[in-house]
A and B are shown apart, each in its own frame.
Chain A
Amino acid sequence: MAVVPATRIYEGTRIPSPCPTILEIDPAQHNLEDILTINFGPNHPSTHGVLRLIVDLDGERVAGIRAVIGYLHTGFEKNMEAKTYWKGITYPERIDYLSFQANELVFVLAIEKLLGLETPEKATWMRMCLAELNRIHSHLVWLGTSALEIGAISMFWYAFRERDMVLDLFEMVTGVRMHTRYFQVGGLAEDIPEGFYAQTRALARHMPHAVDDYEGLLDRNKIWLERTKGIGLLSAEDALALAQSGPMLRASGVDWDLRKAAPYLAYDEVDFDVPVYPNGDVYDRYKVHMDEMRTSARIVAQCVTRLEEMRGEPWIADDRKVVLPPREELHTSMESLIHHFKIVTEGYLVPEGEAYVAIESARGECGCYLVSDGGTKPWRVKFRAPSFAALQATATCVRGTAIADLVAVAASLDPVMGDVDR
């Protein structure tokens, strides 16, 4: 199957020109005296965080839109330039705070690429397992909040019920529900506890039934279908021109998933399908999210099977210049003590160079561009945020929709403002 579909959802392009992210009022179609400009945010229950949309309305139709962002600009990249790599791993998690481990993973992978460090197999598979669990978590929160905004309020409680099950797993392994900081350069921070395998397997078995429950509530609900089918169209060409990735791209018919196209970790060794839907509307994006939850559950089950075979193997690389020695050794070995001291105070040195690593996070292509000057702190870290690109497509997707549909479209873009503003 070709990656880019041959059929088009609409003719031509709907990307506004000259500025792709601003939809200007078209005087030919709207009487300028009838235009009402309203401010949507930054404090609004339906904007998925601190997003501000300035919307020009002609009656109920959206005639013009522009997005104002930056209300959550945290200065991650500047802050990380002042921290050593080991301390810096705590930061990327807070960028995309719903799929936090994906950001951590991409930063750690970029450092390992520059170091040329090999991680043990157990760490690779566990990272994959946690990344997929995180994808499930992110999609559950997306489903709960988006359905809440569109009006299917009870979905929130159903989605968060499973979300708490996923967070229980994270807490079991890492000690913390969110922002786990479990990935180290070289592998994992600690070994995997014994109870993890059984509980994860149970969740992986339960998850497809939960997704069936959600679809049972929504899929044939007439109101849901009216509010999501045919809304927020984005064709494949426009999606690629706007650098969309992840569910946005797959719902527009483009068969592109970094886990298949450029496999990282051990994705080429697990068996899974990538959901692709042709219509490019809100309903298809919803279907992509649901199918991805099922796919992730399948991958998690395979990971657990493989991890159970690797009990007792090392979970972090052996390179003492980069990886902290085990604490028991600090009492007996002088070299371990010195290594520990050097790594914690000064930090380990990463060779000079630059690397760009991209993974498929829940929102799309999450990338980290890391420039190192050979020292202990990164010279420049740039995170390629999938939500940043997704929000750029707002003006294209909301052409001609009503104000009530604007909420549905904004929800389907799945923006996380921490990711957008960094």
Chain B
Amino acid sequence: MTPAGVPGVVETLEANGETTLVVDPARIVEACTHLRDAEGFNVLADLCGVDYLGWGTKEVAGYIGTPAGRDLNAVGSQGFQRTPASKPKRFAVVYHLLRVSDEPARVRVKAWLDEDEEIDSVVGVWPAADWNERETFDLVGITFRGHPNHVRILMPDDWEGHPLRKDYPLGGEPVRFSGAE
């Protein structure tokens, strides 16, 4: 089922039995308010950010070795059967909405953002977005305009960088195997 008449929708996609509404980020609060009030999606199940840097760059499949051992931090080290469809911008903020009522339904709302673009916070629409937006800011680095408490949540307060970005290394220590060198 596809919610119709949602303001700001750029595109509607259907795949795997799920509906995705791609929304213009400037009109996200309008779209979310409409979905909550007119369509009845009263629960924001999830809010997250996805970084698509390096999407579709063909790499060696599986293991990437260097003289010091396995390279955990190589971006996109996977093999494809065909190159995936390209994405319009680097970041996507994804909202998963749920309608808790006698006719349950789910919908996904997606907003594409560039490097330094900001998006409005939907805390006024669903209070549950509070910590989710903080987490998205902390890990992916997306700024939410109008968030009442826009600070890091999971990483220590003085952490630099946004760990879930694709150009942030996985970190950790190199594992040395006995007898390797």
Residues from chain B with Cβ under 8 Å of A355 in the complex? 16, 18
In the bound complex, do residue B128 and residue A242 qualify as a contact, i.e. CB atoms below 8 Å apart?
yes
A191 to chain B, nearest CB (A): 30
Instruction: Give CA–CA (A261, B106) in the complex, Å.
Output: 12
Please tell me if A205 contacts chain B, counting CB pairs below 8 Å. Answer: no
Residues of A within 8 A of B (CB): 2-4, 15, 18-22, 69-70, 73, 75, 77-79, 82, 84, 113-114, 240-243, 245, 249, 254, 256, 261-262, 345-347, 349, 352-356, 358, 365, 367, 369, 371, 373-377, 379-380, 382, 384, 388-389, 391-392, 421-422
In the bound complex, do residue A377 and residue B45 qualify as a contact, i.e. CB atoms below 8 Å apart?
no
Candidates A113, A358, A377, A388; contact of B16 at CB < 8 Å: A113
Residues from chain B with Cβ under 8 Å of A84 in the complex? 62
Residues from chain B with Cβ under 8 Å of A352 in the complex? 84-85
Instruction: Give CA–CA (A114, B17) in the complex, Å.
Output: 11
Complex: chain A residue closest to B169, CB-CB: A78
Residues from chain B with Cβ under 8 Å of A4 in the complex? 100-101
With contacts A113-B16, A345-B63, A349-B79 taken as known, whether A240 is within 8 angstroms of B100 at the C-beta atoms is yes
Tally of contact residues, B, Cβ under 8 A: 58
Instruction: Give CA–CA (A382, B156) in the complex, Å.
Output: 21
Instruction: Give CA–CA (A411, B23) in the complex, Å.
Output: 39
Please tell me if B123 contacts chain A, counting CB pairs below 8 Å. Answer: yes
17 contacts between A and B (CB under 8 A): A4-B100, A18-B148, A19-B123, A19-B148, A70-B153, A70-B155, A77-B139, A82-B170, A243-B126, A345-B63, A346-B79, A349-B80, A375-B79, A376-B62, A384-B45, A388-B131, A391-B131
Please tell me if B21 contacts chain A, counting CB pairs below 8 Å. Answer: no
In the bound complex, do residue A73 and residue B154 qualify as a contact, i.e. CB atoms below 8 Å apart?
yes
Residues from chain A with Cβ under 8 Å of B131 in the complex? 21, 388, 391-392
Q: Which of B42, B51, B98, B155 has the most CB of A within 10 A?
A: B98
In the bound complex, do residue A349 and residue B18 qualify as a contact, i.e. CB atoms below 8 Å apart?
no
Instruction: Give CA–CA (A245, B45) in the complex, Å.
Output: 9
Instruction: Give CA–CA (A379, B166) in the complex, Å.
Output: 10
Instruction: Give CA–CA (A380, B18) in the complex, Å.
Output: 18
In the bound complex, do residue A353 and residue B15 qualify as a contact, i.e. CB atoms below 8 Å apart?
yes
In the bound complex, do residue B62 and residue A371 qualify as a contact, i.e. CB atoms below 8 Å apart?
no
Please tell me if B102 contacts chain A, counting CB pairs below 8 Å. Answer: yes
Residues from chain A with Cβ under 8 Å of B168 in the complex? 78
Candidates B18, B63, B77, B128; contact of A243 at CB < 8 Å: B128
Residues from chain A with Cβ under 8 Å of B51 in the complex? 380
Instruction: Give CA–CA (A369, B61) in the complex, Å.
Output: 23
Residues from chain B with Cβ under 8 Å of A374 in the complex? 80-82, 84
Instruction: Give CA–CA (A256, B126) in the complex, Å.
Output: 19
Complex: chain B residue closest to A241, CB-CB: B127
Residues of B86-100 whose CB lies within 8 A of A: 94, 96, 98, 100
Residues from chain A with Cβ under 8 Å of B52 in the complex? 379
Instruction: Give CA–CA (A3, B48) in the complex, Å.
Output: 27
In the bound complex, do residue A114 and residue B62 qualify as a contact, i.e. CB atoms below 8 Å apart?
no
Q: Mark B19-49, 1 if CB is under 8 A from A, else 0.
A: 0100000000000000000000011111010
